[in-house]
Amino acid sequence: MSAPLKGVKVVDFGQYIAAPGAGALLAGLGADVIKVEPLGGESARNIGSFGDGMLRAYNRGKQAIALDLRHPLGRETGHRLASGADVVVQNMRPGAMERMGLGATQLRERNPALVYASVSGFGMHGPSRQRPGLDIAAQAESGIMSLTGAAGGDPQRVGLALVDAATSHALAQAILAALFRRERTGDGAEIEISLLEVAIHLQAPNFAEYFATGTIPTRRGNGQATVAPAADLIRTSDGFVVLSAYTDAHWATLCRLIERIDLLTDPRFETNEMRVANRRKLLQELGAALSARTTEDCVRWLSENGLVVGAVRNYEQVPEAADVVAAGIFARGRDADGGEETYVGLPYHFMGWTPETSAPPPALGEHSIAVLEQAGFSTDEVTALVARGIVRDGRRGSALAG
């Protein structure tokens, strides 16, 4: 089976995570993705190790061109590249692409079949349309931070760029839907997505509960508000597990396994409502029963008896976990220096098709010359763009590479 998106051309004007992440998902499915960067590189190249992590995670398998879009010839070059694509992805501030002649309407006049996808922080039409939008702002303004943290403590961010990453997946989904429709109708599409909307969408059941009850959710740390034990953290001899056993049947099973049948008739824990009201005492009892067992033993033992349990693993432990190894989501590929590195692959499997090992993330402007030649630029045009400093030739060994 060939790659699902073989032959689909994507031009990615994105920076950081949300837009480049969508491009990376499309590249993983076989699309030809061209990353367009300023001459000095996208912002992630200049923010230390986490920025380097972004580049490694979201730019493998792409070709890179470094282009001065402030110059009229640079803008015309970008226009020629983008108008010949199947998909354009961008996350510049609203209006910026239009001012450079690279907006959806401008490009789709030349190519009506183009799928044009725009990411913003707070949407294209509200009062905050021009505000800088990053993951943390969306976490704050969507309600996520109000739910995250210990009971009675300060709001906290989730420990990863959750909204950015989720936006990349949602955007890739919308792009795939637009491409599918185009196959049927021949029509392109204009897609708008914002970090704020995705952050709210991630909380759909929480908002549904709020609208139904009128009760504003509050921070509770671990554990679910209305059932117990549920998503509760319990210390083991060498770490932690999270455990849920709140139905009457599961609660009875847990009490039998830990040889504490007396808890079933203990007035503090006899019903779910009482277990919720006495959660702290409940967790003390469960902690005493499980603290002599290792984390892996708890997971095996409780899971085999039908209970929901998970080991709390750190980043050193996750790649070595048996289920993670079996899934194969961590892949090995070349790094930029010709060695090997580990990267995170696609989170799903196509039966009959295995993704190829992707190329390493490109150096700044590494494919500038090849991208222009593939787009039909003549040798003289390419030479002139490089000589005038409008395009950066980042090929290894080039006098201008760096």
Q: How far apart are CA 203 and CA 211, in angstroms?
A: 12
Tokens of 216: 């504003």
Cα dihedral 149, 154, 159, 165 sign: positive
Question: If we measure between CA atoms, which residue out of 118, 143, 144, 115 comes closest to residue 129?
Answer: 118
The Cβ-side half-sphere exposure at 54, using a 13 Å CA radius, reads: 24
Q: In the chain, what are the helix, strand and coil shares in percent, each to the nearest 5?
A: 40, 15, 45
Interatomic CA distance for residues 91 and 164, integer angstroms: 11
Q: What is the DSSP letter of 257?
A: H
Sign of the four-CA dihedral 256, 262, 263, 265:
positive
Tokens 């995170």 belong to 344
Cα 41 versus chain centre, distance: 21
Choice among 164, 232, 297, 323 that is catalytic: 164
Could you tell me where the DSSP H helices lie in 93-247?
A: 96-99, 104-110, 135-142, 144-147, 162-185, 195-201, 204-213
Q: How far is CA 84 from CA 133, 194, 366, in A?
A: 29, 26, 21
* 187: annotated active-site residue: no
Q: Which two tokens stand for residue 326?
A: 């079996």
List Cα–Cα distances, 307 to 43, 74, 251, 377, in angstroms. Answer: 46, 60, 9, 62
- Reference 280, options 328, 216, 229, 243; nearest CA is 229
Q: What span, in angstroms and rounded, lies between the C-alpha atoms of 223 and 124?
A: 37
**Known catalytic residues?**
164
